[in-house]
């Protein structure tokens, strides 16, 4: 039998080249249940990743980058799923979305861009992460991490930030008090703490530089969106 994925000869249950099973199991209720458990279980799923990122985010992301990439959920998947959780909660409870907030008196391209960002937080966070990664790389240039490794770090910590926003949105509904803004502050503090811990947890200056990189990244992202939208509006007039 040849592997249906790579064409290698198979003598056992799995392909020796790519690991593809010789015979795929039929998709049924048991398969779907197993897949859900695989994503959510506490060993290497979302819950385990959240637990590890709460306790020692810097250490765990360093291990993911340099030692073991099977312990945590893939960073891109993590930030997309956590962003989706936040979006679903704010939509379900009809909460005002303040994560990316932009108000305008008349329709514009800038407004359309920010509206798209509010509807696609998973991708929006990755784009914002690019700008934050730029400043982080600049402030922590003496450390031997490239731009893309820093971006992986930001996918994890910004994903946790989305869960913090989601949690405080739920608390706001329960206690009927405006506490979502507190969640936003705690989210920024967490991201700064996690970034600083990633580089060197013993240096207080690292946490301050991480906070500066995070804020400057968000500001740069906002300015670029405003300039891009204004430029498009100017060109199409």
pLDDT in tens, the chain (237 residues): 788 788 888 888 888 888 888 887 788 888 777 776 665 554 567 888 999 999 899 999 999 999 888 888 889 989 988 988 988 888 887 776 656 666 666 778 878 887 888 777 778 888 999 999 999 999 999 999 999 999 999 999 999 999 999 999 899 888 888 887 888 899 999 999 999 999 998 999 999 999 999 999 999 999 998 899 889 888 887
State the pLDDT at residue 37.
Answer: 65
Instruction: Please check whether residue 67 is in contact with residue 59, taking contact to mean a CB–CB distance below 8 angstroms.
Output: no
State the pLDDT at residue 124.
Answer: 86
Query: How many other C-beta atoms can be found within 10 angstroms of the C-beta atom of residue 53?
Result: 22
Integer CA distances (angstroms), 94 to 48, 168, 169, in order:
29, 14, 10
SS3 143: coil
The reported pTM is 0.80
Instruction: Please check whether residue 141 is in contact with residue 120, taking contact to mean a CB–CB distance below 8 angstroms.
Output: no
Query: How many other C-beta atoms can be found within 10 angstroms of the C-beta atom of residue 130?
Result: 16
Nearest one of 119, 136, 128 to 155, comparing CA atoms: 128
Alpha-carbon distance of 161 to 155, in angstroms, equals 10
Domain ranges of the chain: 1-40, 57-236
Alpha-carbon distance of 216 to 49, in angstroms, equals 27
182 Cα distance to chain centroid = 20
Q: What are phi and psi of 170, to 5 degrees?
A: -65, -45
176: region left, alpha or beta (phi > 0 left; psi from -120 to 50 alpha): left
SS3 14: strand
Query: In b/e form, how buried is each residue of 190-216, taking b as 16+ CB within 10 angstroms?
Result: bbbbbbbbbbeeeeeebbebbbebbeb
């Amino acid at each position: 039998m040849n592997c249906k994925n790579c064409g290698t000869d198979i003598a056992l249950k799995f392909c020796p080249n790519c690991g593809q099973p010789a015979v795929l199991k039929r998709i049924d209720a048991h398969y779907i249940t197993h897949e859900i458990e695989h994503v959510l279980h506490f060993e290497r799923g979302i819950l385990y990743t959240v637990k590890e990122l709460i306790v020692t985010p810097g250490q765990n992301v360093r291990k993911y980058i340099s030692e073991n990439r099977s312990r945590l959920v893939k960073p891109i998947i993590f930030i997309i799923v956590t962003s989706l959780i936040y979006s679903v909660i704010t939509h379900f409870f009809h909460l005002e979305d303040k994560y990316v907030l932009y108000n305008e008196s008349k329709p514009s391209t800038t407004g359309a861009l920010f509206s798209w960002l509010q509807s696609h937080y998973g991708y929006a966070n990755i784009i914002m992460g690019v700008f934050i990664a730029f400043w982080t790389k600049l402030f922590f240039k003496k450390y031997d991490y490239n731009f893309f490794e820093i971006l992986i770090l930001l996918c994890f910590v910004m994903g946790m930030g989305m869960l913090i926003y989601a949690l405080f949105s739920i608390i706001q509904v329960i206690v009927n008090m405006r506490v979502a803004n507190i969640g936003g502050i705690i989210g920024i503090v967490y991201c700064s703490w996690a970034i600083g811990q990633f580089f060197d947890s013993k240096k207080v200056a690292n946490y301050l530089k991480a906070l500066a990189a995070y804020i400057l990244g968000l500001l740069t992202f906002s300015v670029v969106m405003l300039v891009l939208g204004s430029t498009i509006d100017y060109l199409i007039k």
